[in-house]
Structure 1
Amino acid sequence: MHTTPTTTRSEHHDLVVCGGGLAGFTAAVSAARLGITVCLVQDRPVLGGNSSSEVRVVPRGSTTYHAWAREGGVLAEAMVGERARNHEPIFENGWTNSVWDLELYDICQRTPGLTLHLNTVVEGVTVEDGSITTVHCWTPSAETRIDISGRTFLDATGDGVVAFRAGCEIRQGTEGFEEFGEPHAPAQATDEVMGNSLHFKTKDVGRPVEYQLPEWAHSYDDPDFFYTGGRRPHDVRGGFWWIELGTPWDTIADAEVLRHELTRHTLGVWDWMKNKDPALRGKVENLALDWIGQVPGKRESRRIMGLHLMTEHDLLDEEGPADEVAYGGWNIDLHTPGGLLAATSEPTAAEGYVLTGQASSRAYVGPFGIPLRSLIAKDVDNLLMAGRNVSATHVALGSVRVQSTTALMGQAAGTAAALALRHDVPLHKVPVDLIGEVQQQLLRDGVHLPHVLPADDADLARRATASATSSCLFEGAGPEDRWPDAGLGEHRRFAVDDLPQRRGQWLPVEVGPDAAGLRQVSVLLRNRTDRTREVAAHLVDVRHVWDYRVDPATVLASTTLRVPPGEHWVSWPVDLDPQRVQRGADGPVSYLRLDLEAVEDVEWPRAGRVLPGSVSAFEMAPGRMRRYDDGVTMSVRVEPAQRVHPAGAAVSGAARPGAAPNLWLSGADDPAPALTLEWPEPVRLGSLRVTFPGHQLREYDRTPPLWKDPQVARDYDVEVLGRDGGWQPALRVRDNIQPHRVHRLDSPVTTTALRLRVLSTHGDPCAGVHELRCYAPEEDRAELD
């Protein structure tokens, strides 16, 4: 009899990333793009971890709670590609298909220097003199053992497999209040962690379909379990996060027991909806069970101790850490231990998702900075981590564990590893000795850092003078205005925009000595009574688009708006001196916030479009606001129109709304919009990076199938000024879908001017650029497309 012997081979790479979820994926891709050799080891046949077609948890993050906060970088690149190519709609859970898997796989295959090992398990780790030297892997499908050595290692396994086998200190369970004084911590420490979930998907077959519960499955019969316990089947199409089990089982040791138990309970939930729930039986009559997962999504297990342990206090820090390399903004989402075995589900759900409720208000955080020190293991000198195994308490993990946030941590860890190797700086010294370069590289690569200002001395565009063929003015908008959103605006949670709480609307305005000032603000209000109502209004000076403070706040002007019965544009002659408004990030544009106080029977209708960088919020708790709805602009008009989209915004180094909209936007009637940079002396150009508006306002699961953001430039040309004074072609781009692009010129050029001509967008009448960066040939090295 012939038998194939087990094969053993060895490999060496600069960086070995273990774990191919979103954190490991972004880490491996970003590091390889910086010119080092990278190996990505994944124990599943597909990439993406919980986001993959095996588990189907749609990635979410800061944008669920904060407008213009969608995560960028490698993750955004994958999301844009998937939506443009996938026919399938998505929502929170259950509908991710293999097009997403393929998008991640495609990016890896197109990344030079990246070696991918799928279906490969890390079985052992060798540590010598305080450093990991080798991970020992097994690929059962190929009966192959692979010993992978490296200079630096990154644990993105979720369960902290590499760190655990290397002898690093870990934490499991829940810290008590006395240890760190975290407001969300229980009085006493426990060994409890958040549980695992299983998802399912249904399909409308157009006729009634019966369902019979297997005898081995769990049967549900109590309506209070669902409707009093916060387990509402809010969307009959697919799986629910609250189908969750953990305690008393161990999420690692009892993983297979949990998989079986979750299958029993998932079928029981479907049986309740299909055969027993009087409110849902009619709605699901034509639905058939289409898919049920057999790989549970895991929220929490081991956490690796790093140079800094993130606590809830870090999530409340509005200034950000000095070594900020990522950000979060999901709420402190601590699921009830036991999941389906507990009396109620996660607190905000049990409260009925009341946005002004106590649980929702207490859990609301961000955007907050995440320190690099929490991504570097303290007990070995060449190990980073990213994902849900980072150095954080149970409470802090409640926020940073969500996938879009872990993807940012992955890109940060991969970038830090690559730059440390490039400069031969020990990992433990990177948060101090190399942090500036790490942060600026992340900004360069399209990652936003809320508390880090751009300071890239190599960016030649910062030395140029910018001009444009036209610039769009901010006048405000009303219900009659429309925007070419390609379906993004169809998500409206509130049919009536009442004023049960204070509501604020951000207004970008000119500041500085040349500003036109703000003469008048007009608000569209609808009075449903038969008598005049009074609405208190305030103009508040705010620092940035996420400045949610109500008290203390700098009130520049106040008035009382009188609203007759019916619908009226009510004007307020504010006559505001622009010198009283603080300048945003040293630029000519800043923000004010128009606040209307709560009043009964009066509506403030939203505008029919969202104006760039102009978002609204409501007072969720005394003294603090949160984003209103999915991110909308309320009906408001200003006089005179504000010049808030100048050409110079494109070379400020900021690539999204922050202290200002940070956006050059052409006029809608400009037939040939173009942005020009001019230098006083000749410069030598080898590459450029451009960030178009788009993909930042709302969550990924809000975007429809085959979606291309209308604001993104589809076709554009780059030209340089020749010695003869004429424009010469340098770059031609067609059918672009990505908002962040990196381009190397075919050959370096020396010039005194560069022009970006936007020939078409994917539907928006205005051309826009958040950021245009230019570099000399030697600056971008191996990190370009």
Structure 2
Amino acid sequence: MKISPQQDARRFPVNALETDLLVAGGGLAGVCAALAAARDGLNVVLIQDRPVLGGNASSEVRLWANGATSHMGNNNRWAREGGIMGEILEENLWRNKEGNPVMFDLLLLDLVKNQPGLTLLLNTAVYEVEKNGSRITGVRAFNAINETFYQVSAPLFCDATGDGVLGFLAGAEFREGAEEKEELGEKMAPGASFGHKLGHSIYFYTRRTAEPVTFTPPSFALKNITDIPRYRRLTSSMNGCDLWWLEWGGRLDTVHQSEEIKWELWKIVWGVWDYIKNSGRFPDADRLTIEWVGTIPGKRESRRFMGDYLLCQQDIIDQRDHYDAVAYGGWSIDLHPADGVYSTHDGCRQFHSKGTYTIPFRSLYSRSLDNLLLTGRLISASHVAFGSARVMCTCGLLGEAVGRAAALCHQQRIAPRTLAAPERIGALQQHLQASGCYLPRQRLSDPACGATVTTSSEYQLTRLVPNGQWLALAERMAILLPVRRGDSLPEMTFRLRAQTPQMLTLQLLGSEKSGNFTPELRYDVCQTEVADERDYAFRFDWVSDRDQYLFVAFDACPGVEIALTENRLPGLMTVFNSLNARVAKHTRQIADGDYGVDEFDFWLPRRHPHQCFPALHLREPLRCYPPDHLLNGHLRPEQQTNAWVPAADDAAPHICWRWQTPRTFSHLTLVQDNDFDNAMETVQMGHFYAVTPHCVTHYRLWADDALLAEVTHNHHSVREHRFTTPVTAREIRLEILATAGALPAIYALNFR
């Protein structure tokens, strides 16, 4: 029994914490920032004002996380995010390939709670900031669940709150709404009719039942469905993120009027459900019930804070490579009308760049405050550029970048602005890549610290045998093959058939920008008449002036079929000039106005398990996977496959790194293929594989004759091995014992 006598007043307890880095906001950006900093040795406090982590990706909102892969609907091949964001996606595939949002919550909580040096405060909201001049010195926060105040002091702070609570309270410079076209020369800058801000959305799930279910709408439900100009798009089969366009609030203050926006969205959702259930237009809806409706909106846009660089439309469309690039994006510039569901405009205006673009570190800290890092939706970007950089997997990359930057700033006792200097930023870029973070058109310098490398074998592409399946060339199709400077493709033979003679055209296409997969250049063309089933040979009279990927493109010819193979090779792919309705309206990007964007064809892969590759025979072998790839510092297919692959008949594949004199190291990071083209959306969609086929699932690492590590049941592309006692050896050997079913592909073993 505890009896408290009457008092004039009481106070809630105060918990004072000191830490190296405070991260405010537990969405994917904040989670990745906190994990990265803690893994680099900082003590980190992560404050999250919700009961779960993940932000818009959590079970509270249930939006799938996506990024540069854009649902595999653009030309960004092998562009899935790496580093910690990639680790989260791969772990979710392993644990939760069905896409259960509650299981994704669990995964994030498990990662954060299992991380040494990281203190998590859930249900805790920052409400006050302490400053000393242009430096934040501490924050105050309150947890209404345990009735406790927290006072946290730190030398470095990271704002990942989405609305910029830290930056706002500390007085940092920020913007809301869209810039005028004249300020930055952005032709996509919206006018007053379209509106200057993106709104919120609320999603819902439905479930089919055995018996009819009735529905009585609440009093606040939308009464007249025709108030929604696009109401004819509604069907009884729509669910969850399919209804992202049930959006509203872009004309309001998307911070302080969020509750008003939420009630309007509830009005819309229940009005839509009333229409589906009770209008009589959807007879199959009588056995549908609502399983779940979001209780908080998924917010797209509010404050954007000013750094030393303002990312703009031209950075994305022109794919500018910044000297201080520490992350990348690849989602379309995706702008929505401010009136949302009530607008007569289309639900979105999307334009893609021809490839990935980079994001500079100068956009990831406040220019107003000396020790405030920015990540997620808060980065220094125009409204137009924000339309691309805001998506969650991109935000996760930005989170890791600022987390690892915080560790460097702490170690060197410097401010983020100092780290952005040209002579310093390379340390962050190299550290990110050494940790498995791919950066487009960059490379890790000397990943093997001067070692020579030998391998047990090398796969050389000569013949892929038919498997008895055929594919009609009903649409343009191409295979992506790498070629080196000064080389040409060998003569290629494909098995084809047609019921009546057909003229088939093959084109050899390439990309203007190295590393892109948008084929604007036509190098050569050849034709042949296809009739009876047999092998047909093609030869292109052309020599490459650079390392690059080529498109061997078959024109559409529905009367011709091509034989397929069972073989799937890493870094090689079949793509189709086709449409992904989630992110585009046509098989070609078409600008219906002067928006300052390019027009080009989309060349898209098929999702597992529907990927395919033609059977073929090459007159001379194509060396796609030589051992020297293991030393070039490239972590993805880009100009070349950049991977080593053993011969198909190699029963004991292995790699040896050797030095003339013994080397000492404390970290080994293995980077291997895990299908970086697979979008791996986190929730709702579900996926075919729990582990992609090329992944090395069982391996051993040896230092001279001593076993360093044995890993079983691996499902990650990046595996870091840290040794409490540094290892000294003349030789390191990687022994590959099993994969998830296909040939393995290794990019690098990084030594530190």
TM-score (normalizing by structure 2): 0.88
| Residue pair 1:67, 1:630 contacting (<8 A) in 2 also | no
User: What amino acid is the match of 2:698?
Assistant: D
Alignment partner for residue 53 of structure 2, among 47, 50, 54? 47
CA deviations 1:450-490 (Å, max 9, x no partner) are 0322225xx4x2422222222222247587389xxxxxxxx
In 2, the alpha carbon distance for the partners of 1:682 and 1:174 equals 58
Aligned equivalent of 1:341: 342
**Is residue 588 of structure 2 the alignment partner of residue 620 of structure 1?**
yes
In 2, the alpha carbon distance for the partners of 1:623 and 1:477 equals 35
**Is residue 744 of structure 2 the alignment partner of residue 767 of structure 1?**
yes
| Residue pair 2:225, 2:272 contacting (<8 A) in 1 also | no
CA deviations 1:499-545 (Å, max 9, x no partner) are 3x6x5432124556xx7x633123566668x4532425235477655
**Is residue 518 of structure 2 the alignment partner of residue 548 of structure 1?**
yes
User: What amino acid is the match of 2:569?
Assistant: L
Aligned equivalent of 2:540: 574
SS at match of 1:664: coil
User: What amino acid is the match of 2:86?
Assistant: A
Change (3 A) 1:363 1:219: farther
Change (3 A) 1:257 1:652: same
Aligned equivalent of 1:5: 11
Aligned equivalent of 1:558: 525
User: What amino acid is the match of 1:655?
Assistant: L
CA shift, 1:750, in A, is: 3.1
Counting only pairs closer than 5 Å after superposition, residues 245-324 of structure 1 correspond to structure 2 as 245-276=248-279, 278=281, 280-282=282-284, 284-324=285-325
SS at match of 2:713: coil
**Is residue 481 of structure 2 the alignment partner of residue 507 of structure 1?**
yes
SS at match of 1:421: helix
In 2, the alpha carbon distance for the partners of 1:481 and 1:377 equals 60
In 2, the alpha carbon distance for the partners of 1:114 and 1:448 equals 25
Counting only pairs closer than 5 Å after superposition, residues 452-467 of structure 1 correspond to structure 2 as 452-456=442-446, 459=447, 461-467=448-454
In 1, the alpha carbon distance for the partners of 2:463 and 2:182 equals 50
| Residue pair 2:506, 2:552 contacting (<8 A) in 1 also | no
Change (3 A) 1:138 1:672: same
Change (3 A) 1:544 1:534: same
Change (3 A) 1:639 1:231: farther
| Residue pair 1:273, 1:281 contacting (<8 A) in 2 also | no
| Residue pair 1:15, 1:153 contacting (<8 A) in 2 also | yes
Aligned equivalent of 1:736: 714
Aligned equivalent of 1:145: 149
In 2, the alpha carbon distance for the partners of 1:645 and 1:82 equals 29
In 2, the alpha carbon distance for the partners of 1:157 and 1:322 equals 27
SS at match of 1:135: strand
CA shift, 1:234, in A, is: 6.5
Aligned equivalent of 1:70: 80
In 2, the alpha carbon distance for the partners of 1:55 and 1:634 equals 38
**Is residue 388 of structure 2 the alignment partner of residue 399 of structure 1?**
yes
Gaps of 5+ in 2: 578-586, 590-597
Alignment partner for residue 388 of structure 1, among 369, 377, 380? 377
User: What amino acid is the match of 1:675?
Assistant: I
CA shift, 1:736, in A, is: 1.8
User: What amino acid is the match of 1:674?
Assistant: H
**Is residue 92 of structure 2 the alignment partner of residue 82 of structure 1?**
yes
Aligned equivalent of 1:157: 161
Structure 1, 187-196 or 439-448: larger mean CA deviation: 187-196
CA deviations 1:50-69 (Å, max 9, x no partner) are 00111111100111232211
| Residue pair 1:543, 1:591 contacting (<8 A) in 2 also | no
**Is residue 441 of structure 2 the alignment partner of residue 451 of structure 1?**
yes
Aligned equivalent of 1:480: 467
Gaps of 5+ in 1: 91-95, 349-359, 483-494, 585-589, 722-726, 776-785
Counting only pairs closer than 5 Å after superposition, residues 320-719 of structure 1 correspond to structure 2 as 320-347=321-348, 362-364=351-353, 366-432=355-421, 433-456=423-446, 459=447, 461-475=448-462, 480=467, 498-499=474-475, 504-509=478-483, 518-523=489-494, 530-535=500-505, 537-538=507-508, 540=510, 544-550=514-520, 553=521, 555=523, 557-564=524-531, 569-574=535-540, 580-584=543-547, 590-597=548-555, 610-615=568-573, 616=575, 618=577, 620-621=588-589, 624-630=600-606, 634-635=613-614, 637=616, 638-701=618-681, 704=687, 707-719=690-702
CA deviations 1:209-230 (Å, max 9, x no partner) are 33333333114544994466x6
CA shift, 1:276, in A, is: 3.4
In 2, the alpha carbon distance for the partners of 1:404 and 1:232 equals 29
In 1, the alpha carbon distance for the partners of 2:507 and 2:266 equals 54
SS at match of 2:735: strand
In 2, the alpha carbon distance for the partners of 1:603 and 1:220 equals 51
Change (3 A) 1:210 1:35: same
| Residue pair 2:200, 2:250 contacting (<8 A) in 1 also | no
In 2, the alpha carbon distance for the partners of 1:270 and 1:609 equals 47
CA shift, 1:285, in A, is: 4.5
TM-score (normalizing by structure 1): 0.84
In 2, the alpha carbon distance for the partners of 1:281 and 1:698 equals 37
In 2, the alpha carbon distance for the partners of 1:746 and 1:450 equals 32
CA deviations 1:581-638 (Å, max 9, x no partner) are 2453xxxxx5333234566766778766653222336372587343314465653633
CA shift, 1:206, in A, is: 3.7
CA deviations 1:156-180 (Å, max 9, x no partner) are 1111111111111111112221211
CA deviations 1:220-264 (Å, max 9, x no partner) are 544994466x66776447662111111343221111111122112
User: What amino acid is the match of 2:505?
Assistant: V
**Is residue 38 of structure 2 the alignment partner of residue 17 of structure 1?**
no
Change (3 A) 1:747 1:36: closer
Aligned equivalent of 2:581: none
User: What amino acid is the match of 1:374?
Assistant: S
SS at match of 2:314: helix
In 1, the alpha carbon distance for the partners of 2:534 and 2:277 equals 48
| Residue pair 1:510, 1:644 contacting (<8 A) in 2 also | no
Change (3 A) 1:763 1:130: same
CA deviations 1:297-353 (Å, max 9, x no partner) are 0000111111111110111233411110110000011011111111244245xxxxx
In 2, the alpha carbon distance for the partners of 1:541 and 1:10 equals 57
| Residue pair 2:691, 2:740 contacting (<8 A) in 1 also | yes
In 1, the alpha carbon distance for the partners of 2:244 and 2:237 equals 11
Change (3 A) 1:266 1:678: same
| Residue pair 2:680, 2:687 contacting (<8 A) in 1 also | no
CA deviations 1:349-390 (Å, max 9, x no partner) are xxxxxxxxxxx5x44453000011111111111111111111
| Residue pair 1:466, 1:677 contacting (<8 A) in 2 also | yes
SS at match of 1:770: strand
Percent identity between the aligned chains? 32
SS at match of 1:289: strand
| Residue pair 1:221, 1:276 contacting (<8 A) in 2 also | no
